[in-house]
Amino acid sequence: MRGAELLRINQRITIKVEDPGYRGTYASLVQDMSDNDVIISMPLVDCKPVPIRPGTRVTILAVSRGTTYGLPGVVVGRSLNPTPLLRVSLRDDAQPLQRRRFVRVEVDLPFYFRSLDDAASLRKPMEVGTTRDISGSGALISVPLASRQLPSGTNLQVEIVLPGRSIPIRGKARVIRMWTVRDASRETQNMAVEFTELADSDREDIIKFVLERQKELRRKGLL
């Protein structure tokens, strides 16, 4: 699939830069498109533009219909005034990324869930756990010991509370596995889930949150 077919104006995207001077992953926005070139917002770090040089190879990550694609390209131009922008020439067809390549970050977030495979569960309030880490493809959740063990493959209704959002992200997930963790002081349950149904905009919000969380941890020297 041609990369330009996946992009639209005002679409939130992620840019992965391998150049040693600006290596990292940044949030951006599609501003305009022309043939096989795309005009995007210059990434910001601490409210300052990241002046990625022309000739730098980048990968644009974009979500379409629940799948994240990588679009290889080269920065062919940049401008700082009146708005910091980059012009990226897309060089190859878009490639879907395998789910294990999603960036994951450790963070504690409220995570609500209930089984869709059990009629009795649908009549009860959602259970609540806490994420241990999260990515655009799934999460690892710490759940109360009182929660019953759910077999692998169980379909879940889920709600995730992201900072800065007035309403939770709502979607569906599948249990990968659930297990008990014991240490010297306590015993807990972990549940690994894969997101199976999320709106593209919600998945983009999760990816954006993960990237911003990573930057915060790096600034604090914790990553």
- Give the pLDDT score at 109: 95
pLDDT at 131 over 60: yes
- Give the pLDDT score at 193: 95
Indicate the average pLDDT of the chain. 86
Question: Which CATH number among 2.40.10.220, 3.30.300.30, 2.40.50.140, 3.40.50.300 corresponds to the domain 104-219?
Answer: 2.40.10.220
- Give the pLDDT score at 157: 95
- Give the pLDDT score at 76: 93
In this prediction, residues 213-221 reach a mean pLDDT of 81
pLDDT at 104 over 60: yes
* pLDDT tens string 16-61: 887 777 888 888 999 998 878 999 999 888 788 888 999 999 988 8
**Better pLDDT: 122 or 192:** 192
Closest by alpha carbon to 160, among 203, 220, 214, 121?
A: 203
Assign domain 3-97 to its CATH architecture: Roll (2.30)
Which 3 state secondary structure label does DSSP give 36?
A: coil
In this prediction, residues 186-207 reach a mean pLDDT of 88
Identify the bridge partners of residue 196 per DSSP, sorted by sequence position: none
* Domain coordinates in residue numbering, the chain: 3-97, 104-219
